[in-house]
A = this chain, B = another copy of it.
Amino acid sequence: MIVTVTLNAALDVTYQVGDVDWNGVNRVQTVHRRAGGKGINVARVLAALGQEVLVTGLAGGPTGQAIEADLDTAGLPHDLTPVAQDSRTTLVVSDSPRTALFNEPGPHVTPDELDRFIRNFVAKAARAQAVVISGSLPRGVPSDFYGTLAAMSPAPVIIDADGEPLRNAPKGKPALIKPNAEELSRAVPDGTPEEGAQALRHEGAGAVVVSMGADGLLAVTADGVFRARMPYTVEGNPTGAGDSLVAGLALGLVEGTAWPETLRRAAALGAAAVAAPVAGDFDRALYAEIHPHIVIV
């Protein structure tokens, strides 16, 4: 079983509107609601690949109930720790070609709620082959919390984070950290991506895989440095591509695959997610097609 952690779970809502009047009344043509947040997207991809997953994290209020109802509909097992305040909604108003995104502030988590989550997390991680921790922290959660969770986990941990949570992640000695190039350059401002990744390894990360968009992947590991190069660029929706990539890395971790094949699969899953319209999905045909053409150097 792979446990994913989504502390700031969201209800991702998309409104398709014909021609938005930003100072008037608009009829929404279609509405899509879906449980979101990076860890939940990772769990969707892993489940689609046949892996047993468990969605953990925090959820509260009517929006938290809507998130859980959608996970039930999707057949994704979950054990989200309740919080008193309402989980956040992210709203996309799409009026092609324009797209406006509205991010709610989300809940403020209390120390008691966080303690309950930790107890739940430790119990679940004890039965897991791997743990994936992704995304932003809700208010009230200390910025070193991902490192704290990694230090407590009996199972190997992958962390996909930004900002302070990324900077503090290596202290927990996670098996793997997955920043993108921009996140890495904010966390370690000086030097090349490889030097930045080495710096995170020196601080405690077992390996660092840097996603660099169309430039592929850079992996700095105990077995050496690898680069995965894409055969061609996939056009589409980059939202969720990092989550699909992280699912591929988690798969390599639990299956004990060597780095070249782990990276090949992760890079192909990331590219195949760009071709899918919704975060947490990937294009299976494109995945099968692109996978053998990923070049590892």
Contacts and interface: CB of A to CB of B under 8 A. Distances in A.
Contacts of A31: 86, 89, 104-105
Interface string A13-42: 001010011111111110101000000000
B102 A23 contact: no
A66 interface: yes
A105 B18 CA distance: 13
Number of chain copies forming the complex: 2
Interface in A61-98: 61-63, 65-66, 69-70, 86, 89, 91, 93, 98
A25 B70 CA distance: 25
Contacts of A104: 15, 28, 31
B62 A98 contact: no
A100 interface: yes
A101 interface: yes
A103 interface: yes
Given A33-B86, A105-B31, A100 B21 contact: yes
Contacts of A105: 27-29, 31
Given A28-B103, A62-B69, A65-B62, A23 B98 contact: yes
A103 B27 contact: yes
Nearest to A98: B23
7 contacts: A23-B99, A24-B100, A26-B101, A26-B103, A27-B105, A31-B86, A62-B66
